[in-house]
């Protein structure tokens, strides 16, 4: 066989090389093209979901799905909204695990109290049954941010997007090509309602909420359509319908794949809804609305900057901070506002806020706002004052329809005192005090009731405790709520705190006769202290102890005597006078032993049996319930003992155990910021243990550095050297360079700016924080 010539071999090698290079060139081009397309796709995803704001690093930690599956009761919701504004939107479904969406509201009117104006897309021929169709979706295709929400509907192959404004919002629907395209509107509340298509791309509506509150809507579609309405179970052509539970439809040309719906809400009038629309969203693109909302959140979230900690801790922290802006909400519209407290349209240039549950929010949410947004808090307090002027009573659960009769106590009194002592005085203080005092003198203490006092209230003032009924005794007072009962111990303890707050405010204002009276009343909790059993226990109207098991008796939620929790939780409800509580328990050592026992005590029943009786008492550690507001301050009580290190231990345990960054990450009813504010404070390493005293007690920060930018232009910084998941114990402390020997500092120190430095370690320094003057600084 002849050998190939060198030239032939060379030519063959060159040909092979060219072929190799061409193939790999094509591969390289395809690879580059693929990566470019991938980057574009990621950029688009970033546009619609992730943050592009300057504080993108912080915004990415917010996950509105945290807590979307409840332990037992109410889940959190993936709510899109602007901080403290009217429009709040999330898909209507049971919880995160529900794979079907019922509808999308135009707004949530009040936290957990209802919605108005439902909207849903459809690609089917519209029929009377269309409004009943639920919409399956894919969890993994859902994007939830405070400023943007998107989900993909599996059956209709439709993408739904939303972004919020203040009184406005915008929906965008991407329909599949070549299909029918309709939007269905309905109402949620069963009362008087109406819809009117003003033109082929305009709609107005009215829905009655809570029986007497009229809420108006005006909206514009990006594309004109054909309209119809549902009447008596039949579909009819037309532009207008009114009556109960009105439902209408608009269908668009099949050639139009994307439809946008911009709208405005008003509590004043349809005309004002149009003005809100013109002022805020007319001619704005979806991106304009989204970017504005994103920037608003960036401004709020960046007020607290943290370093260190784990990814999970940052997600839990910033998501909690996001939830702290869900309410109260500003319902003012060009100086007009509707008030459920006088059922009128009122005029005032100052913002008017509603939607608050003070039983849940006085402990941590209001104190957090006093720290971060004191001017806004003053506007909210002035709103309370206006509500008092309009209705004759200082509210405790102010919502859009008026004062929601809920829970017990007048804890708005504590909020007023707390604010005043922290230097917030830009509200009508004298009128606020007048309302506080009127509640104390003339309003009923009965749970879930409003209005004038009853015979039970007269008994309370005459005898110093709220009388209870023995097990099995039939109720004789008609005004007592049939389910909520008397809650006699809880009412006595709560009223004592409220009276303390009112008395302290009287003292601040120089009303010494009032102060003397309230100083006596605020000690009423002593009348229910049973020194043999070492619990607060009920008495009957003859002054005799009622023999109960404080751990398990009292009916559902313990409501005959307590409220949602048992006697172990109510054992510590004397926040206003903790030194006296320590004395009742025979001193600091015995107090500490009792605290230890709380966290170690067996339930005495299976969890199934216990939670059947106390479904609110979730996230249990022994008899301690992290899942309900009355427990928030309890772990910090170790700072009053010779073992402040136990506060550090317990706070870290509770945060890491019960506040995970997943769908199960809220251990009880979050209550619109009530529980989230506990997480924010505790993660920063301090807590307002007694609202009404301008002092913070120190726990264990989870971050190595926390910088709070204050409204006055100053910064307060917490530096926790060597802080980690293991290094949770404080070894020593300094405030502005001066040695700190006690676990306390004042609100004034915080607002003046400065640095709190803590040296952290893996084992407790059992000597730090036990100076005798620790409690004295609280007086």
With contact defined as beta carbons under 8 Å apart, do 107 and 117 qualify? yes
Which position has the higher pLDDT, 297 or 41?
Answer: 297
**What are the CB-based long-range contacts (under 8 Å, 24+) for 347-352?**
348/386, 350/379, 350/382, 351/379, 351/383, 352/383, 352/386
Bridge partners of residue 234, in order along the sequence: 231
Residue 186, both tokens: 């309905």
Q: Categorise residue 343: left if φ over 0, alpha if ψ from -120 to 50, beta otherwise.
A: left
What is the distance, to the nearest Å, from the Cα of residue 10 to the centroid of all Cα atoms in its chain? 77
Q: What is the pLDDT of residue 33?
A: 43
Per the model's pLDDT, the better-predicted residue between 533 and 46 turns out to be 533
705 within 8 A of 591, measured Cβ to Cβ: no
Report which secondary-structure segment, H or E, holds 307.
strand 304-307
Extract the tokens encoding 571.
Answer: 């054992």
Task: Determine the average pLDDT of the residues in 248-266.
Answer: 96
Residue 71 is predicted with a pLDDT of 87
The pLDDT of residue 79 is above 50:
yes
**What is the pairing mode between strands 715-721 and 754-761?**
parallel
- DSSP code of 220? E
DSSP track, 654-681: HHHHH--SSTT---S--TTTHHHHHHHH
Cα 505-511-512 angle, rounded to 5 deg? 105
Radius of gyration for the chain, computed over Cα atoms and rounded to the nearest angstrom: 30
Looking at residue 42, its pLDDT comes to 37
Collapsed DSSP state (helix, strand, coil) of residue 764: coil
Residue 219 is inside which H or E element, if any?
strand 213-221
Predicted local confidence at residue 772, as pLDDT: 59
- Quick one: pLDDT band at residue 509, thresholds 50, 70, 90? very high
Helix ranges restricted to H, 281-398: 286-301, 311-323, 358-361, 365-372, 374-391
Per-residue pLDDT tens digits for 346-401: 999 999 999 999 999 999 999 999 999 999 999 999 999 999 999 999 999 999 99
Average pLDDT over residues 678-695: 98
Extended beta strands in 615-737, E state: 620-621, 624-625, 686-687, 695-698, 705-709, 715-721, 729-735
Burial class of residue 44 (count of CB atoms within 10 Å of its CB; 0-12, 13-18, 19+) = exposed
CB 260 within 8 A of CB 171: yes
pLDDT of residue 51: 54
Instruction: Round the average pLDDT of the chain to a whole number and report it.
Output: 93
Give the per-residue pLDDT at 398. 97
Phi, psi of 88 (to 5 degrees): -135, 125
CA distance linking residue 467 with residue 463, whole number of Å: 9
Contacts of 509 by beta carbon, 8 Å cutoff, 6+ apart: 429, 430, 433
Question: Residue 770 pLDDT more than 50?
Answer: yes
pTM (two decimals)? 0.93
% of the chain residues with pLDDT over 90: 91
- Res. 421: pLDDT tops 90: yes
Predicted confidence (pLDDT) per residue in 692-706, tens digit = 999 999 999 999 999
Q: Is the pLDDT of residue 36 over 70?
A: no
pLDDT band at residue 779, thresholds of 50, 70 and 90?
Answer: very low
Q: What does each C-alpha distance from 9 to 14, 21, 23 come to in angstroms?
A: 9, 18, 21
Is the pLDDT score of 267 beyond 60? yes
Q: What phi, psi does 314 have (nearest 5°)?
A: -70, -40
pLDDT band at 771 (very low <50, low <70, confident <90, very high): confident
Q: Which residues contact 101 (CB under 8 A, 6 or more apart)?
A: 91, 92, 93, 120, 134, 135, 136, 137, 151, 153
Q: What is the pLDDT of residues 576-619, one digit of tens each?
A: 999 999 999 999 999 999 999 999 999 999 999 999 999 999 99
Cα separation of 338 and 215, whole Å?
10
- Which pLDDT band holds residue 307 (cuts at 50, 70, 90)? very high
Answer yes or no: is pLDDT of 37 > 50.
Answer: no
* Per-residue CA distances from 557 to 245, 570, 626, 680 (Å): 36, 12, 16, 28
pLDDT of residue 3: 38
Return the pLDDT at 354.
98
User: What pLDDT is attached to residue 56?
Assistant: 76
């Amino acid at each position: 066989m002849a050998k190939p010539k060198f030239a032939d071999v060379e030519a063959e090698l060159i040909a092979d090389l060219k072929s190799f290079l061409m193939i790999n060139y094509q591969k390289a081009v395809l690879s580059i093209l693929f990566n470019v397309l991938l980057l574009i796709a990621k950029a688009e995803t970033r546009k619609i979901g992730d943050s592009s704001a300057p504080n993108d690093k912080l915004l990415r930690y917010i996950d509105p799905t945290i807590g979307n599956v409840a332990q037992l009761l109410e889940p959190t919701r993936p709510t899109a909204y602007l901080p403290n504004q009217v429009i709040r939107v999330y898909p209507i479904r049971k919880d995160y695990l529900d794979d079907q969406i019922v509808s999308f509201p135009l707004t949530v009117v009040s936290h957990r109290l209802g919605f108005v104006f439902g909207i849903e897309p459809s690609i089917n021929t519209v029929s009377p049954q269309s409004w009943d169709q639920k919409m399956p979706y894919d969890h993994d295709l859902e994007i939830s941010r405070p400023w943007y929400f998107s989900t993909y509907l599996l059956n209709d192959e439709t993408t739904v997007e939303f972004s919020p404004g203040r009184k406005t919002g915008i929906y965008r629907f991407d329909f599949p090509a070549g299909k029918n395209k309709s939007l269905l509107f309905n109402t949620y509340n069963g009362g008087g309602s109406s819809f009117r298509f003003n033109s082929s791309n305009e709609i107005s509506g009215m829905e009655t909420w809570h029986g007497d509150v009229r809420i108006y809507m005006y909206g514009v579609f990006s594309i004109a359509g054909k309209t119809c309405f549902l009447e008596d179970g039949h579909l009819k052509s037309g532009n207008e319908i009114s009556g109960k539970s009105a439902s209408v439809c608009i269908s668009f040309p099949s050639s139009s794949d994307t439809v946008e719906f911009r709208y405005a809400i008003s509590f004043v009038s349809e005309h004002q809804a149009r003005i809100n629309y013109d002022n805020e969203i007319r001619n704005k693109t979806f991106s304009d609305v989204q970017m504005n909302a994103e920037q608003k959140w960036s401004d709020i979230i960046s007020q607290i900057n943290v370093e260190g900690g784990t990814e999970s801790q940052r997600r839990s922290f910033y998501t909690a901070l996001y939830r702290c802006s869900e309410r109260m909400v500003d319902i003012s519209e060009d100086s007009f506002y509707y008030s459920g407290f006088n059922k009128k349209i009122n005029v005032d240039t100052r913002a008017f806020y509603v939607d608050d549950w003070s039983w849940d929010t006085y402990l941590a949410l209001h104190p957090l706002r006093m720290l971060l947004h004191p001017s806004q808090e003053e506007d909210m307090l002035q709103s309370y004052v206006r509500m008092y002027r309009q209705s004759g009573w200082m509210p405790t659960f102010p919502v859009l329809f008026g004062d929601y009769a809920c829970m017990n106590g007048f804890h708005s009194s504590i909020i007023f005192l707390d604010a005043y002592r922290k230097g917030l005085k830009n509200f009508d203080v004298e009128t606020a005090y007048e309302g506080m005092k009127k509640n104390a003198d003339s309003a009923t203490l009965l749970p879930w009731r409003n209005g004038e006092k009853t015979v039970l209230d007269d008994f309370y003032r005459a005898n110093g405790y709220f009388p209870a009924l023995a097990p099995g005794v039939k109720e004789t007072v008609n005004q007592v709520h049939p389910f909520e009962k008397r809650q006699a111990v809880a009412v006595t303890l709560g009223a004592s705190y409220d009276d303390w707050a009112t008395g302290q405010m009287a003292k601040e204002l120089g009303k010494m006769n009032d102060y003397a009276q309230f100083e006596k009343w605020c000690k009423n909790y002593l009348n229910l202290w049973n020194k043999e059993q070492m619990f607060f226990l009920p008495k009957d109207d003859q002054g005799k102890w009622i023999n109960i098991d404080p751990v398990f008796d009292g009916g559902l939620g313990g409501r005959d005597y307590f409220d949602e929790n048992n006697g172990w939780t109510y054992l510590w409800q004397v926040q206003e006078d903790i030194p006296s509580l320590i004395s009742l328990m025979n001193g600091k050592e015995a107090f500490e032993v009792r605290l230890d026992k709380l966290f170690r005590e067996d339930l005495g029943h299976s969890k199934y049996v216990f939670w059947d009786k106390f479904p609110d008492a979730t996230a249990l550690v022994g008899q301690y319930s992290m899942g309900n507001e009355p427990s928030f301050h309890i772990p910090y009580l170790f700072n009053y003992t010779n073992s402040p290190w136990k506060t550090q231990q317990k706070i870290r345990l509770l945060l890491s155990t019960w506040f995970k960054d997943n769908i199960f990450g809220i251990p009880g009813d979050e209550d619109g910021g009530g529980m989230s504010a506990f997480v924010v404070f505790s993660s920063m390493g301090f807590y307002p243990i007694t609202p009404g005293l301008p002092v913070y007690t120190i726990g264990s920060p989870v971050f190595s550095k926390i910088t709070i930018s204050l409204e006055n232009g100053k910064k307060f910084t917490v530096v926790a050297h060597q802080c980690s998941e293991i290094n949770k114990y404080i070894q020593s402390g300094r405030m502005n360079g001066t040695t700190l020997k006690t676990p306390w500092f004042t609100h004034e120190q915080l607002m003046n700016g400065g640095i709190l430095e803590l040296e952290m370690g893996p084992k407790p320094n059992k000597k730090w924080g036990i100076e005798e003057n620790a409690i004295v600084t609280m007086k």
